[in-house]
Structure 1
Amino acid sequence: MTETATGAVAKTPARPAFTPPTRFAVPGRIAVSNRTASRWQTATLTEIRRETPHAATFRFAVPAWAGHLPGQHLMLRLTAGDGYTAQRHYSIASAPGDDGHLELTLDHVEGGEVSGWFHTVAQPGDRVEVRGPLSGFFAWPGDRPALLIGAGSGVVPLMSMVRHHRARGLEVPLRLLVSARSPEELIYAREYGAETTPVFTRSAPQGVPVGRLTAGHLRPVFDERPEGGWEAYVCGSDAFAEHASRLLVAAGQPVDRIRIERFG
């Protein structure tokens, strides 16, 4: 996790979900390779894209990256000239691919030494170290209907799922509810399509209600619930995760089919 214009998708035959080499299985979840995840690799920053006034996407070249599943995260390590190191867990924003690149989207956290370095010092060509992918608990392999609910930078691992869904031309149903304070703070705003419902808590475009995520936002999604139901993924702050989870349970979502990733 963090420190703290889309067009129609081409209707191509669904391909099997991308699966990296696996060795260790998390019961009931996605298999994860301990061997791959334990090795530090050099990642070279190649591009910086501004998403909102406080968030940016950082693209890295990692030639030996073994791949990941949407929803997984990695460990990132910075090392200063005097040998001091700082490590943080970050969700992977990019869809799985075989081009040796991955992306992270970072909020500029006040007082955050790692996010602060990225937002004020980092330039293309800089090198960091990464280790992963980590955790299969929050991963979505693309083989089941997915209901994604995120707030703020909690949308980052969910966007990896949306991008995977589009890149693979998957037919399995996917819906995203994303909460932000305002349209200006909506991360990835240019990429959202018909699968996404934005919720604004402080200010919104004219005619759009302002307020927290409610049962009313979930109702249309559950009215069109696919056969077999949804697998729900919730990501955000502790307070948001608790609020969204209660709404899901009240709407009839089985507790054992709600996966939560949160940050304090």
Structure 2
Amino acid sequence: MATVVQARWETASARTLVLDVQDWPGHLPGQHVDLRLTAADGYSAQRSYSIASSWRDGGPVELTVQRVEDGEVSSYLTDVVEPGQQLELRGPIGGWFVWRNTPAPVLLVAGGSGLVPLMAMIRARGDVRGRQPFRLVYSVRTPRDALYGAELARRVRDDPGLDVHHVYTRELPEGRPGRPGRLGVATLNTHGWPPDFAPDVFVCGPTVFVEAAADILIALSHDPTKIKTERFGGTA
């Protein structure tokens, strides 16, 4: 069981729940948990959520939940849950889409709330004062939809070797030249790593976004075996 000890809004529709999890063994950045809600009449629903926090043993564990229209679980977690409540949680789960503090450069490509497990990697690197160069290319609709904006800006300033580039598909920040647009070849060619650097690549987001990004990276001659993907979709 997990007890909610804090809740904070990241955007108007995304909320981070800070959980005290009994006997938490620690986790690797990129892992997720299964969270189950059970109603008084016995009806239950289970969803998987990526862990946003770093890999500290014993927690706390942070989950950032994006509210989905008509999503029975995500709406409850963003709009109803308050500190003090308990949630049924199982995890950590997963051992493939994880960063293990290896020395290789890292390219992170995120779409929307797909940033969550990649943020765990960025935070873990910061915690260990890693020297591996990290680059994040983050696609969102508008500046208001970007998760962890203030923290990412601070980490770019304070964590040497971390670079962040935002792609806005519908609305640019005030004063930024150009036009909104989807992630393309030119963006990943300019703001990603050259394939000769053999970076570890992690791509996370909606299925269509992940498939498009992975195709672009392969077209740019990145080694497919170095590209790890995680996608989400469906009911939330």
Q: Same fold (TM over 0.5)?
A: yes
Report the alpha carbon displacement of residue 103 of structure 1 after superposing the two structures with TM.
0.4
Report the alpha carbon displacement of residue 73 of structure 1 after superposing the two structures with TM.
0.6
Name the CA distance, whole Å, in 2 between partners of 1:240 and 1:90. Answer: 18
Gaps of 5+ in 2: 157-161
Query: Which residue, 17, 25, 31 being the options, matches 1:66?
Result: 25
Name the CA distance, whole Å, in 1 between partners of 2:132 and 2:199. Answer: 11
**Could you say what secondary structure the match of 2:189 adopts?**
helix
Q: Say whether the 8 Å CA contact 1:145–1:174 is kept in structure 2.
A: yes
Query: Which residue, 222, 238, 243 being the options, matches 2:212?
Result: 243
Name the CA distance, whole Å, in 1 between partners of 2:119 and 2:172. Answer: 21
Report the alpha carbon displacement of residue 221 of structure 1 after superposing the two structures with TM.
4.1
Alignment-derived partner of residue 186 in structure 1: 146
Alignment-derived partner of residue 122 in structure 1: 81
Alignment-derived partner of residue 234 in structure 1: 203
Q: Say whether the 8 Å CA contact 2:27–2:57 is kept in structure 1.
A: no
Report the alpha carbon displacement of residue 180 of structure 1 after superposing the two structures with TM.
0.4
Aligned AA (1:109): V
Query: Which residue, 47, 52, 55 being the options, matches 2:6?
Result: 47
Name the CA distance, whole Å, in 2 between partners of 1:121 and 1:224. Answer: 45
Q: Once the two structures are superposed, what CA deviation does each residue of 1:86-137 show, in whole Å capped at 9, x if it has no partner?
A: 1111100101102431000111111111111112211100000111111111
1:189-204 pair list within 5 angstroms: 189-192=149-152, 193=156, 194-204=162-172
1:141-152 pair list within 5 angstroms: 141-143=100-102, 144-152=104-112
Report the alpha carbon displacement of residue 215 of structure 1 after superposing the two structures with TM.
1.9
Report the alpha carbon displacement of residue 226 of structure 1 after superposing the two structures with TM.
7.2
Aligned AA (1:262): R
**Could you say what secondary structure the match of 2:188 adopts?**
helix
Q: How many residues align?
A: 222
Does residue 259 of the first structure (1) align with residue 228 of the second (2)? Answer: yes
- 1:121–1:216 distance in 2 versus 1, CA, 3 Å: same
TM-score (norm 1): 0.80
Q: Once the two structures are superposed, what CA deviation does each residue of 1:116-167 show, in whole Å capped at 9, x if it has no partner?
A: 1112211100000111111111111121321100110011100000110111
Aligned AA (2:107): L
Gaps of 5+ in 1: 1-41
More helix by share: 2
Alignment-derived partner of residue 119 in structure 2: 159
Query: Which residue, 105, 117, 127 being the options, matches 2:64?
Result: 105
Alignment-derived partner of residue 159 in structure 2: none
- 1:65–1:54 distance in 2 versus 1, CA, 3 Å: same
**Could you say what secondary structure the match of 2:229 adopts?**
strand
Name the Cα RMSD after superposition: 1.5
Identity of aligned residues (%): 42
Name the CA distance, whole Å, in 2 between partners of 1:58 and 1:208. Answer: 35
Query: Which residue, 203, 206, 217 being the options, matches 2:187?
Result: 217
TM-score (norm 2): 0.89
- 1:147–1:125 distance in 2 versus 1, CA, 3 Å: same
- 1:82–1:199 distance in 2 versus 1, CA, 3 Å: same
Query: Which residue, 105, 130, 133 being the options, matches 1:173?
Result: 133
Report the alpha carbon displacement of residue 224 of structure 1 after superposing the two structures with TM.
5.8
Name the CA distance, whole Å, in 2 between partners of 1:101 and 1:207. Answer: 37
**Could you say what secondary structure the match of 1:94 adopts?**
coil
